[in-house]
Amino acid sequence: MDLAKYRTIFIEESTEHFAEISRALLDLEKDPASSDAIDTVFRMAHSIKGMAASLDYAPITELAHRLEDRMQEARDAGRVPDGDSLSLLFQGLTTLEGMVDAVKEEEAPQSAPPALLTALSAPAQRSNPPQPSEPAPPAPAEVTRSAAREPAPRVAVEGATEVTAPRPPPTVRVRTETLDRFLSTVGEVILNTSQVRTSASAFDTKRDSALGEGLDRMDRVVGELQRRALELRTTQLLRIVEPLPRAAREIAEQAGKKVEVEIEGAELEIDRSILDRLSDPLVHLLRNAVDHGIEIPEARRAAGKPEVGRIAIAARREKDNIHISVRDDGAGLDLAGVLARAVEAGVLHQDLAEDLPPDAIAALVFEPGLSTAHSVSEISGRGVGMDAVRVTIESLGGSIELVSERGEGTVTSLVVPITAAVQRVLMLGLAEEIVALPISKVERILEVRAEQIERSGAEAFVLIDDELIPVIDLAERVGIASERGEGPVSLVLTEIRGDRVALASQRIVGQQQIYVKPLPELLSGLRSLAGLTILGDGRPMFLLDPNQIA
Amino acid sequence: MARVLVADDASFMRQMIREIVEAEGHEVVGEASDGDEVVEEFKRLSPDIVTMDIVMPRRSGIDAVKTIIELQPNAQVVMCSALGQESLVQEAMDAGARDFIVKPFKPDAVISTLQKVLEKPE
């Protein structure tokens, strides 16, 4: 038998099972008598045990077996016992995950800590005995199995066998690597098609109708291929938000706090490349909420709040963007503290600090070098600050903002595009070069006479809507000699970190939908470039990241 | 050569059984991942023999055996169990299952059990 194949399936299936167990344990935390959750953990542990035994992973088999036993007890008793048993089950889960990680690394899984095995093998400590009405036998370990004679809670058969809940459609597993190669090839097809289009424009397609029709058909099919390929690139948000409740629980436990995490909109689909980069920022926001937002139970009680803090992570789709908010009902931001730190860190001059409005103070947390933690805790103090979060979100073409009310809590909201691969861009001519800007970043395009641009030293400004807006000469910024003529100048109004900025170019070339390729390795360090595409004539065109040019 | 229906919620186990029985020249005509699906697939495919996991979502393997035996009293069902599930296996046998195999599967044991059941149908 091909053991490597089964090892791979084992890793995949148990990883999925872990997610389900984690979800079910969190459910049990809210409702220790949830028979669905108890059943799920039981089945998943059982299934992991069976697979591990087939592959001779004795430590995994043993630990999964203990978990299964405990869940069998819970089934018989109709609930998981109170007290430490849930923590114990979480520990068991974390240990199992570690073991499967070892298998992933082609190492032999280590035995579980004996203390954990012992704790899991004794009938769970019943310092709080089950309700007298429940016929739970105080079974010694050897007898627990005989309890299995009581069959599991059953789905009624009652002849009505046709009544079945909808089953998820069949799926196949594909290696991400294979998928990425496929998608990259689709990208090449799309680029080639537009090259063929450009070449064909030299012919009179009206006279050669076969060529014209052929091209139209090709466009339709390629367009369809592109849509399908983009669907393949999307993954449910669930993948990155699913571990969050458990992570929050662990962080809170270490800090002596209690939290409950609610998630909404996890079913939304988003481009995988964006999703992958969204994970760290979300974890960071969650840590912040638990560490700096949610108060310790005593403080919450004193403030008249429920002991358990609430964190709500909600996602919704709006056109081509996904809005995600992380809301906590904690202490809120200490604005005076933020201000003091900003001045201390030299981010802000004392004079300016005097009459800064609250939302501008809140925005300071995104400045580099500003940590609002009173003591850098073990968890938050790992170097990824809010400034890193902002840079990541902005480089994805998104934005982030924070609203906080002292005593009421904090809401951090971020917006990211659903897809990164295909973008509508505005093409700008700079001498012989053409560069592209994401259309989503363009507020307005206008043409002004050269003399309307006022210069003072190296700075340039233009008056638009009674507002003095800084002008950035794109050609100069990109390093192409720009002739400062008398003719009209094309200005693209955009927003950079909340401020309006006008980008000056020599001409507007047009709009186009492009397939954005990642930068080749050699250029990947250039942060002002967000990607490139190949134009119809074979020349490369770079996509600028406006956030990084100013 | 027999037509086999494999029911197990873990695709790991389904593939393993498939590999074992196909190596012996049998045909796996269908797979089911829960207790409802195996009943549906049984009705649709009329297999010669079913390998049935006990612990499955929606409807346990034992309930599925009962339904299948009601549908077709001489159906050949072999239970797949793990160590420690003896009482459940007994319940399944009482409900009409013909025999059982124990996880982790040993190919020889699986084949000889299936062979035994196929050769001596009741």
pLDDT digits (tens, 9 = 90+) for B13-44: 999 999 999 999 999 999 999 999 999 999 99
When pLDDT is cut at 50, 70 and 90, the band that residue A312 belongs to is very high
Mutation to test the A interface, candidates B40, B55, B87, most A Cβ within 10 Å: B55
* B107 contacts in chain A (CB < 8 Å): 1
When pLDDT is cut at 50, 70 and 90, the band that residue A454 belongs to is confident
Is the per-residue pLDDT at A218 higher than 90?
no
Tell me which amino acid residue A210 is: A
Give the pair of three-digit tokens for residue A5: 């194949």
Cα of B50 to nearest chain A Cα, Å:
18
Place of tokens 């700079």: A430
Residues A142 and A61 in one domain: yes
Cα of A367 to nearest chain B Cα, Å:
49
Q: What are the residue boundaries of the structural domains of chain B, listed by start?
A: 3-119
Q: Please say whether the structural domain B3-119 has been given the CATH code 3.40.50.2030.
A: no
Which of A392, A417, A442 lies at the terminal end of a domain, its last residue? Answer: A417
The verdict on a CB contact (< 8 Å) between A154 and B59 is yes
Q: How many CB pairs under 8 A join A and B?
A: 83
Q: Compare A297 and A519 and report the one with higher pLDDT.
A: A297
- Residues A157, B19: Cα–Cα separation, whole Å: 32
Task: Assess if residue A117 is contained within a domain.
Answer: yes
The verdict on a CB contact (< 8 Å) between B63 and A167 is no
pLDDT mean over A384-403:
81
- Residues A245, A286: Cα–Cα separation, whole Å: 9
SS percent in chain A: helix, strand, coil, step 5: 45, 20, 35
Which long-range CB contacts under 8 A does A399-408 form with residues at least 24 apart?
Answer: A400/A366, A401/A363, A402/A333, A402/A362, A402/A363, A402/A365, A402/A366, A403/A359, A403/A362, A404/A332, A404/A333, A404/A335, A404/A362, A405/A332, A406/A331, A406/A332, A406/A333, A406/A334, A406/A335, A407/A303, A407/A331, A407/A332, A408/A329, A408/A332
Is the per-residue pLDDT at A151 higher than 60?
no
The verdict on a CB contact (< 8 Å) between B15 and A54 is no
pLDDT mean over A106-125:
79
Neighbours of A218 (CB within 10 A): 15
Task: Assess if residue A163 is contained within a domain.
Answer: no
Of A400, A184, A421, residue with least CA distance to A278: A400
What letter would DSSP give residue A397?
A: T
Task: Assess if residue A156 is contained within a domain.
Answer: no
What is the domain range of residue A119?
3-149
Predicted TM-score (pTM) of this structure: 0.54
The verdict on a CB contact (< 8 Å) between B9 and A1 is no
When pLDDT is cut at 50, 70 and 90, the band that residue A93 belongs to is very high
- Residues A413, A415: Cα–Cα separation, whole Å: 7
Which residue of A5, A56, A157 is in closest CB contact with B67? A157
The verdict on a CB contact (< 8 Å) between B57 and A165 is no
- Residues A444, A549: Cα–Cα separation, whole Å: 18
CA distances from A525 to A202, A398, A511, A530, A534 (A): 39, 20, 27, 10, 20
Is the per-residue pLDDT at A238 higher than 50?
yes
- pLDDT value, residue B61: 92
Q: What is the ipTM of this complex?
A: 0.85
- Residues A99, A101: Cα–Cα separation, whole Å: 5
* A150 contacts in chain B (CB < 8 Å): none
Give the pair of three-digit tokens for residue A545: 């990241």
Q: Locate the chain B residue with the closest alpha carbon to A145.
A: B84
The verdict on a CB contact (< 8 Å) between B62 and A151 is yes
Mutation to test the B interface, candidates A7, A9, A21, A57, most B Cβ within 10 Å: A9
Q: pLDDT (tens digit, 9 = 90+) per residue, B51-88? A: 999 989 889 999 999 999 999 999 999 999 887 788 88
Residues A242 and A390 in one domain: yes
Q: Locate the chain A residue with the closest alpha carbon to B106.
A: A54
Q: pLDDT (tens digit, 9 = 90+) per residue, A421-450? A: 677 789 998 878 889 998 878 888 988 888
Strand ordering across the sheet containing B99-102: B27-32, B3-7, B49-53, B77-81, B99-102
Residues A348 and A283 in one domain: yes
Residues A242 and A229 in one domain: no
Which residue of B36, B62, B107 is in closest CB contact with A164? B36
Which residue of B62, B82, B86 is in closest CB contact with A46? B82
Neighbours of A166 (CB within 10 A): 5
Residues A340 and A216 in one domain: no
Residues A388 and A429 in one domain: no
